[in-house]
C-alpha cells in the first residue's frame, strides 16, 4: 500500500477572521509577512508582496505585521520600496522576532510598535549561500555570519605565535571561498541599504548614517536582541504594542506555525517527501505562501542527499464568487 504524503493545513478562514478583527481596532489595513525558521526573506517574496498590495490597492495608511529571522537584504529593500509605493504611512507591528533583513524592513516603517516578546537585531552580514556548509542533521544549508568569521580570524591572529599559516587555509576547508567573498561584499551593502530604507521617512542623512552604522557594527553578535528599550535609545520612533493587538498577532503566529509544521513523510530510511510551508504573506481577501513539494533521496556511496520531483512553488488562496476557498498556483521564475 502506497504511503500518502503528509499535507500541512491551510488555515485561511482562521487567519482572515483575525486580520479583519485587528483592522477594526487599528483603523488601517493589515499586511502579514511571516517566515518560518526554515524559510527566509528572498527575491520571490517581492512578487508575492506585489500580489498582496495589488489586491489591497493604494492605501493612505497600512499596518505591517512582520515576523522573520531575516534573509536577503536586497530583497528587503525591494519590499520596503513596494510598501512605500502603495502606502503613504506604514506602521510595523512586531510581536516576535524581526531579525536581520526583517529588521531592515521594519526600519522602513514610519513607526514601530513592539510587544514584550519582540526584538530587532543587528544588520551585519549573515547569509545562506548556494555554497554554504550543509548541516548533516537536517540536510539544510547553514547561515554564515560576517561577525563570526571576523572573530574567528581575530582569534587566529591573536594566537599567531603558535603558528605561521594563513588562517584561510584551514577556514576554506569548511567555508567555500565564494561564501567569504559574498560576505565581504554584503557587509558594506547592508549599511548602504539600511541608509536608503531609513531615508523614506528620515530626511536627515547624517541620522540615517548613524543608525545604520550603529546597527551594523556596534553589537557583539548578529543575533543580539534589540528590545523596545534599546530601540528607543537608538533613536527609532517606537512605542509599546497594545496588549490586545499583541495577543491577536500572536494568535495569527500560532496559525501560521501550524501551517508551517514539518510536513515530512518518510518512505524508508533513504527516501522522504517534504511538503513544508516556509513563507506566508496575507491581507484581507488573499493569502500567498511558498510550499516545498519534493522528494529527497540519500545517495549512500556519496554520503549526500539529492532532491527529486521538485514541484515546490507559490500558492494563492482566496474566496471565489460563491464565497468558497479557492487555491491556485502563483508562478514565479
DSSP state of 220: S
> Which pLDDT score, from 0 to 100, does residue 125 have?
63
* Sheet order of strands, 29-35 included: 238-240, 111-114, 87-94, 59-67, 29-35, 277-283, 286-291, 313-319, 325-330
Average pLDDT over residues 299-313: 92
Better-scored residue on pLDDT, 323 or 203: 203
Task: Look up the pTM and report it.
Answer: 0.86
Please indicate, yes or no, if residue 19 is contained in any of the structural domains.
yes
* CATH value at residue 307: 3.90.226
Whether residues 32 and 165 fall in one domain:
no
Whether residues 135 and 82 fall in one domain:
no
Give residue 29's domain range: 12-121+225-330
Structural domain total, the chain: 2
Span 65-94, pLDDT tens digits: 999 999 988 999 999 999 999 999 999 999
C-alpha cell at 110: 514610519
DSSP state of 118: -
Whether residues 114 and 136 fall in one domain:
no
Whether residues 298 and 168 fall in one domain:
no
Better-scored residue on pLDDT, 25 or 169: 25
Please indicate, yes or no, if residue 219 is contained in any of the structural domains.
no
Whether residues 16 and 116 fall in one domain:
yes
Please indicate, yes or no, if residue 190 is contained in any of the structural domains.
no
Please indicate, yes or no, if residue 96 is contained in any of the structural domains.
yes
d(CA 255, CA 284): 16
Span 111-139, pLDDT tens digits: 999 999 999 999 876 666 677 777 777 66
Whether residues 69 and 143 fall in one domain:
no
Amino acid at each position: 500500500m502506497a504511503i500518502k504524503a503528509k499535507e500541512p493545513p491551510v488555515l485561511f478562514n482562521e487567519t482572515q477572521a483575525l486580520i479583519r478583527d485587528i483592522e477594526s481596532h487599528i483603523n488601517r489595513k493589515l499586511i502579514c509577512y511571516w517566515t518560518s525558521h526554515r524559510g527566509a526573506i528572498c527575491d520571490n517574496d517581492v512578487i508575492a508582496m506585489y500580489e498582496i498590495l495589488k489586491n489591497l490597492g493604494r492605501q493612505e495608511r497600512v499596518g505591517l505585521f512582520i515576523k522573520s529571522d531575516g534573509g536577503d537584504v536586497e530583497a528587503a529593500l525591494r519590499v520596503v520600496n513596494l510598501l512605500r509605493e502603495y502606502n503613504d504611512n506604514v506602521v510595523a507591528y512586531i510581536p516576535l522576532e524581526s531579525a536581520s533583513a526583517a529588521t531592515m524592513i521594519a526600519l522602513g516603517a514610519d513607526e514601530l510598535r513592539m510587544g514584550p516578546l519582540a526584538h530587532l537585531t543587528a544588520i551585519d552580514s549573515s547569509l545562506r549561500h548556494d555554497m554554504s556548509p550543509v548541516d548533516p542533521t537536517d540536510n539544510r544549508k547553514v547561515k554564515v555570519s560576517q561577525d563570526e568569521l571576523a572573530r574567528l580570524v581575530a582569534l587566529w591572529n591573536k594566537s599567531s605565535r603558535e603558528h605561521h599559516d594563513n588562517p584561510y587555509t584551514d577556514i576554506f576547508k569548511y567555508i567555500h571561498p565564494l561564501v567569504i567573498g559574498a560576505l565581504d561584499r554584503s557587509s558594506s551593502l547592508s549599511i548602504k541599504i539600511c541608509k536608503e530604507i531609513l531615508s523614506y521617512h528620515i530626511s536627515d542623512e547624517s541620522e540615517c548614517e548613524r543608525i545604520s552604522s550603529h546597527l551594523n557594527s556596534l553589537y557583539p553578535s548578529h543575533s543580539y536582541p534589540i528590545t523596545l528599550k534599546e530601540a528607543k535609545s537608538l533613536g527609532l520612533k517606537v512605542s509599546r504594542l497594545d496588549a490586545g493587538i499583541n495577543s491577536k498577532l500572536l494568535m495569527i503566529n500560532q496559525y501560521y506555525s501550524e501551517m508551517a509544521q514539518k510536513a515530512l513523510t518518510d518512505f524508508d530510511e533513504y527516501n522522504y517527501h517534504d511538503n513544508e510551508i516556509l513563507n506566508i504573506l496575507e491581507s484581507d481577501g488573499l493569502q500567498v505562501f511558498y510550499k516545498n513539494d519534493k522528494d529527497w533521496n540519500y545517495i549512500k556511496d556519496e554520503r549526500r542527499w539529492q532532491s527529486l520531483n521538485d514541484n515546490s512553488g507559490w500558492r494563492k488562496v482566496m474566496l471565489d464568487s460563491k464565497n468558497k476557498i479557492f487555491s491556485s498556483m502563483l508562478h514565479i521564475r
